[in-house]
Chain A
Amino acid sequence: MNALRSLPILMLGALLSLPAAAANYAALPGGLFTSVMPADGKAAPVTIEPFQLRTEPVTNAEFLAFVQTHPQWRRDRVAGIFADGRYLSHWAAADVLGSEAQPSQPVTQISWFAAQAYCESEQARLPSWYEWEYAAAADDHRADARNDPAWRERVLAWYGRPSNTPLPAIGGAADVHGVSDLNGLVWEWVGDFNALLVGVDSRDQDGADKLKFCGAGALTMQQKENYASLMRVAMLSALKASDTTSSMGFRCARSH
């Protein structure tokens, strides 16, 4: 009798715990792009091949489904070299989201290794920094809205938001490519986060930096007015691959 009465609840539970429908990817045309990180360290634009980008960051619900099928990524089983002690620490348990982690919020407290493994499970990879920066330059009617002061202000406003505000859910308005929530939700991992080589003080181009960063030295960042992108670069280049933070999530990409 009890079992019968709880049947609808069980069914609801089953529905909620179903793996999320296949993630949506939008096709982006790519092309020549002027990055805050010039390809040659000076001014050269970069060429971005056409690629596909996940329309939304990966959510708590999606990552929960992933750890259920890939238990080596549960927070109680993950190898310490791949994720720090705070990995998925906002979840109620290793396989329970709980009240601090809503299913449709972007998953955070995620290491680069965990993000990589998740994307592989979607036959995808993490986007490169250039792909991410290029995608995030769009608004609802332009592929590159970065020269619009109003756009810049809107993007920057997010960075002023106190970090203890709960994360919004995904589902923001789609941009011209059909991608949502690149700006204003979470920081996002990129595949080549350890290729950004920004010196501790990028004004120091001589002496110690020359040795630490063989080649052209630490990169000079361009477009000083584009603080938002510069902050992303600074944040990413300061992280280790096993680091997790309460505002760092990810989305995946695919080559065409």
Chain B
Amino acid sequence: MKHLLMLLCLVFFAGQVFARAPLPGDSVYQLEVRLTDQDGHDWPWAARRGHVQVVSMFYTSCTMVCPMVVDTMKLTAKALDESARGRLDLLLVSFDPARDSVAALREYADRRKLNAPPWTLARAESQDARQLAALLGLQYRQLPDGDFNHSSELILLDADGRILARSDVMGRLDPDFVQAVRKALAAK
């Protein structure tokens, strides 16, 4: 009983602290957009707050650089020691809402063995995806054949949504970026 009470107090206190800490002005979570993940759950973008994560944007029917974006995220996570790896979240947001349904995201996650956690694959309505890309400094453009031109970058966010580092090194490890991830996880 005493333990339960203490636990309740702790939860209550932690909740208060979390609720009261104002969002920094340079936090990406200032943007109000909604995402839907590979399990069909719908949540506000700001619900990602509280986690150090590596984020990028992609589309599942991409055959060129996108598989490399995923591979590079995998490599980056693998370069961490186990305890750090367990605390890093990985988020991929699609900029192709027309074709990337929840089912398509799920199928892609299964095929590429991107299990939750740490992986979240998500979609956003096209206006929201455009805003999210602008916020993260990513570029994309749909071509008449349905493919996309897009920039490929990994972005590191701290728990409050500040952009700590970015890397456009694809297909191999970027030591500076890995170092930034380690530092972010140690600081948490």
Question: Is A bound to B?
Answer: yes
Given known contacts A196-B141, A215-B64, is B134 in contact with A112 (CB within 8 Å)? yes
State whether A44 touches B144 (Cβ < 8 A): yes
State whether B144 touches A40 (Cβ < 8 A): yes
Name the segment of A4-12, A134-142, A158-166, A187-195 touching the other chain.
A187-195
List B contacts of A211 (CB < 8 A): 65, 68, 152, 168, 170-171
| C-alpha spacing A212/B150, complex, angstroms | 8
Interface mask (A235-256 → B, CB under 8 Å = 1, otherwise 0): 0010011000000000000000
Majority DSSP secondary structure for residues of A touching B:
loop
State whether A240 touches B137 (Cβ < 8 A): yes
| C-alpha spacing A212/B166, complex, angstroms | 13
Name the segment of B21-29, B81-89, B113-121 touching the other chain.
B21-29
Given known contacts A195-B139, A197-B149, is B144 in contact with A39 (CB within 8 Å)? yes
List B contacts of A79 (CB < 8 A): 23, 25-27, 30
Judge if B140 is at the interface, Cβ distance under 8 Å: yes
**How many interface residues does A have (CB within 8 Å)?**
32
Given known contacts A80-B25, A81-B30, A81-B135, is B140 in contact with A194 (CB within 8 Å)? yes
Total number of residue pairs linking A and B with CB closer than 8 Å: 97
List B contacts of A191 (CB < 8 A): 130
| C-alpha spacing A118/B64, complex, angstroms | 37
Residues of chain B in range 133-149 having any CB-CB distance to chain A below 8 Å: 133-135, 137-145, 147-149
| C-alpha spacing A44/B135, complex, angstroms | 30
State whether B65 touches A216 (Cβ < 8 A): no
State whether B149 touches A214 (Cβ < 8 A): yes
Interface mask (A118-141 → B, CB under 8 Å = 1, otherwise 0): 000000010000000000000000
Judge if A82 is at the interface, Cβ distance under 8 Å: yes
Please tell me which one of the listed residues B127, B135, B141, B168 contacts residue A212 in the complex, with CB atoms under 8 A apart: B168
Judge if A219 is at the interface, Cβ distance under 8 Å: yes
Residues of chain B in range 3-61 having any CB-CB distance to chain A below 8 Å: 23-28, 30-31
Residues of chain A in range 58-88 having any CB-CB distance to chain B below 8 Å: 78-82
New A-B contacts (5) at CB < 8 Å, excluding given A215-B148, A241-B137: A79-B25, A125-B127, A214-B148, A214-B150, A219-B149
List residues of A whose CB falls within 8 A of some B CB. 39-41, 44, 78-82, 112-113, 116, 125, 191-197, 211-219, 237, 240-241
Q: Sample 20 A-B pairs with CB under 8 A, ordered by A number.
A: A79-B30, A80-B24, A81-B25, A112-B134, A113-B134, A116-B131, A194-B130, A194-B138, A195-B139, A211-B65, A212-B168, A213-B151, A214-B62, A214-B151, A214-B152, A215-B143, A216-B147, A217-B149, A219-B149, A240-B137
List residues of B whose CB falls within 8 A of some A CB. 23-28, 30-31, 62, 64-66, 68, 127, 130-131, 133-135, 137-145, 147-152, 168, 170-171
